[in-house]
Structure 1
Amino acid sequence: MDESKRIWRDRVARWHKSGHSARVFAEQEGVNAGTLYSWSRRLGMNRSAYRQRSGKTMLPALLPVVVAPSGATAPSPSATLEIVFPDGAVVRVPPTFDEDTLARVVRALGGVR
């Protein structure tokens, strides 16, 4: 195995163990998130394959939540809600949305059990 492949195999394994999204992990490593995904696929190390090999279940990472102080201006009713999952998936929810559909999407992405 050449040096580059060995470096990327280690990097991808550390990414999967970290629980961070590709974007966050790539920023920390100083690499491109697309390149990280590409190497993960090339090496056959997608997250589900990693979980099967390691026997571990990856728990979702906790994300910071910002709560506006009382008296702060409320978000506009026309504002889009954005949900970012630890694996990098992003769901943008328009102000007029169907709650049941949103709940199914979030469950499908592994956000709610």
Structure 2
Amino acid sequence: MATRVEWAERVERWERSGLSAEKFARREGYKPKQLYWWRWKLRADGPSPPSSTETPRSTETPRFLPVHVVADVSPVVAEPIEIALPNGRVVRVRPGFDPATLERVLALAAEETPC
């Protein structure tokens, strides 16, 4: 009689094979109902801890899925920079600012005289 671990391996091989339960079971020598029942049972019970005889998953051949690459059309929204001056004034600078203009604004904002 096959163990739970053996059935887990069988069900996994069946699912990887892409074959119907009938074809896979006929090829392996057991009944399709057994595959369906064990798949249900294993899923209902959750994953079992690996035994010492099981092959680690990291040694399996990876399965690749189709990928569709699309251009990123969402605009990048940069946050404004906030400059807090010692006199309590705050200057908010949006992306794409003119450095020369910012320099003049900071000089004016840094003055102690009211704006």
Normalising by the residue count of structure 2, what TM-score does the alignment of the two structures yield?
Answer: 0.37
Relative CO higher for 1 or 2, CA cutoff 8 Å, sep ≥ 6?
Answer: 1
Normalising by the residue count of structure 1, what TM-score does the alignment of the two structures yield?
Answer: 0.37
